[in-house]
Chain A
Amino acid sequence: MSAHGLTGPSLRLDRLPRRRRVNRVMEMLAWLAAAIAVAILGVVIWSVASKGASELNLDLLTKPPIPFSFTNAPQGLSNAFAGTLVIVALATAMALPIGILVAIYLNEFAPPPVRAGLGLALDVLAGVPAIVVGIFVYGLLVVGGGGQSGVKGAFALATLMLPFVARTTAEVLGLVPDSLREASLGLGVPRWRTTLSIVLPRAAGGILTGTVLAVARVAGETAPLLFTSSLVGPQTSWNPLHALQTVPLAIFELSESADPKDHARAWAAALVLLLFILFASLTARWLATRTARKLAGR
């Protein structure tokens, strides 16, 4: 210390050169990794947009496809968009209530050993490949009787959504402070009423966010629908008791077509799917911040 003519420890920047270098390098690496992630997304969006933009118009959403068309009559993928809408809505209607109830049991009522087992079961279910779920529903419902239908496709998607919804819901329920439960129970309010009136509303924003993300995720699923809702004609149908065309399957089928215009329409449909997911994520974020603000009393 006396060498610097100082009486205290040195505070100069160059006092630990090696540590500073390592710090720099690690920071750069972390930055690079983040940049790569963003770049990949950018490349995907750019390539999809540039190839699909030419066919992205209202006809794509409203007009049905014309198979083996040799004219320039406007055509679209309205059957696929209608089918995806119906199937995903049905899947959400099936998975959401059960998922929330599972989460409530998991987080509010299950004794610790059951909680651990149930959590593991949900994790395994979440890890089951989509194609396996498809084959399972095919074997259970399609072969068993009646053939393919939108409802069966929705059931397959719901199976994929359920663990996702249950896990995210249990997570947000876990974030509700125990002090709130105690406040309600301390008043002499029964447990079920506390869960329903205090815990659930407090977690509603988070549950909604998780649901929106789950919807965005299964909207692009192809494999389960291949077995359960894929043998379809070009006509637009909203009846879930019949097999319905869906956007991911339409993309898959058009990509195998010989007509380059079909390829462009496949890209355009992919772009719509991407935009939907982007929009859903933004909505989820907005909901999350809005509820956070509301709960903070501002």
Chain B
Amino acid sequence: MSITIEPTVKVETRRQPVPPRERLETVFHVEHLDALYGGKPALKSVSMEVYKNLVTAIIGPSGCGKSTYIRCFNRMNDLIPGFRQTGTIRYHGQDICASNIDPVAVRRNIGMVFQRPNPFPKSIYDNVAWGCRVLGMKDDLDERVERALTQAALWDEVKDRLKASGLSLSGGQQQRLCIARAIAVEPDVVLMDEPASALDPIATQAIEQLMHELKSRYTFVIVTHNMQQAARVADMTAFFSISHGGEGERYGELIEYDATEKIFTRPSDQRTEDYVTGRFG
């Protein structure tokens, strides 16, 4: 990576253009989402749609609520004391925060890969197989594990030592193991919260490659603070920024959401342009 700031981020030129929005199937429909920690707003009035079989990137400076936002999609924030959200997130039309919705079922369909690789202290095989077993997908377990590891581009590296601990792998391999674990239970959506932030460029490339290959089967939402990464992998990009309210209040806000190419080459908001050209951030 060069030290001088590139004037603009290069957008992959071979990418396929995003089809017009009316031809896309909506997976998530977010409306006026507010998120609060202990009464302090972290996100204000976010509205956007996430489309099926696309990679949607969420970019923005640190502290703009990207992680908070992606964790709203599978109700991961339920676990945080003092967290509250208003507004609606519809997943294929169902409000996932409604009182008759089981958060376990939500997470069953909407998988997640976390910022830091977090394999279970189990063998490589069991890391992938455990979720399937617990969720009752017990048929052809070996085949299932092999398929998931192959999809995560890890099979060739680990096929001879499936009994070794998942923790004996390198950081990049661990993260791919976590991806294999997430896709082994066949979710509909895979959320990725800065999946490459702790990885070297080669491991990062492997993960981006597999997102590219798997998006025909899954819908990906990825949080990243690496703009090049968003430009490389994402079809759609949402730019979040920090806004200042009265009395020193700071909260994240969705500034612009559009096709990745447009966000990086012809953004319609000045703040987006400042961010993607490196004048701010």
Report how far A294 CA is from B165 CA in the complex, Å: 9
Residues of B close to A120: CB separation below 8 A: none
Task: Sample 27 A-B pairs with CB under 8 A, ordered by A number.
Answer: A111-B81, A178-B79, A179-B114, A180-B120, A182-B118, A183-B118, A183-B181, A184-B120, A185-B79, A186-B114, A187-B107, A187-B135, A187-B181, A188-B107, A188-B108, A188-B109, A188-B111, A188-B131, A189-B104, A189-B131, A189-B135, A191-B104, A193-B134, A197-B130, A295-B121, A295-B167, A297-B164
Asked if B79 contacts A187 (CB within 8 A), the reply is: no
Interface residues of A in 139-187 (CB under 8 A from B): 177-187
Which residue of chain A has the shortest Cβ distance to B113 in the bound complex?
A: A186
Least Cβ–Cβ distance between B280 and chain A, in angstroms? 31
CA distance A187 to B118 in the complex (A): 12
A-B contacts at CB below 8 angstroms, number: 78
A297/B167 in contact, CB under 8 A: yes
Q: What per-residue 1/0 map shows which CB atoms of B172-184 lie under 8 Å from chain A?
A: 0000001001100
Assess whether A298 is interfacial by the CB under 8 Å rule.
Answer: yes
Chain A interface, DSSP helix/strand/loop, else mixed? helix
Residues of A177-235 at the interface with B, using a CB-CB cut-off of 8 Å, are 177-191, 193, 197-198, 201-202
Chain A: interface size category: 20 to 34
Give the distance to chain A from B119, nearest Cβ to Cβ, in Å: 8
- List the B side residues contacting A111 at CB < 8 Å: 81
B178's partner among A183, A185, A197 (CB-CB below 8 A) is A183
What is the distance, in angstroms, from A86's C-beta to the closest C-beta of chain B?
36
Query: How far, in angstroms, from A111 to B130 measured CA to CA in the complex?
Result: 29
Please give the distance in Å from A198's CB to the nearest CB on chain B: 6
List residues of chain A with CB under 8 Å of any chain B CB.
Answer: 111-112, 177-191, 193, 197-198, 201-202, 294-298
Contact B167 A188 (CB under 8 A): no
Name which of A111, A177, A187, A202 has the most chain B CB atoms within 10 A of its CB.
A187
Do B135 and A182 have beta carbons less than 8 Å apart? Answer: no
Q: Is the CB of A298 within 8 A of B168?
A: yes
Output the least CB separation between A264 and chain B (Å): 50
Distance in angstroms between the alpha carbons of A201 and B122 in the assembled complex = 10
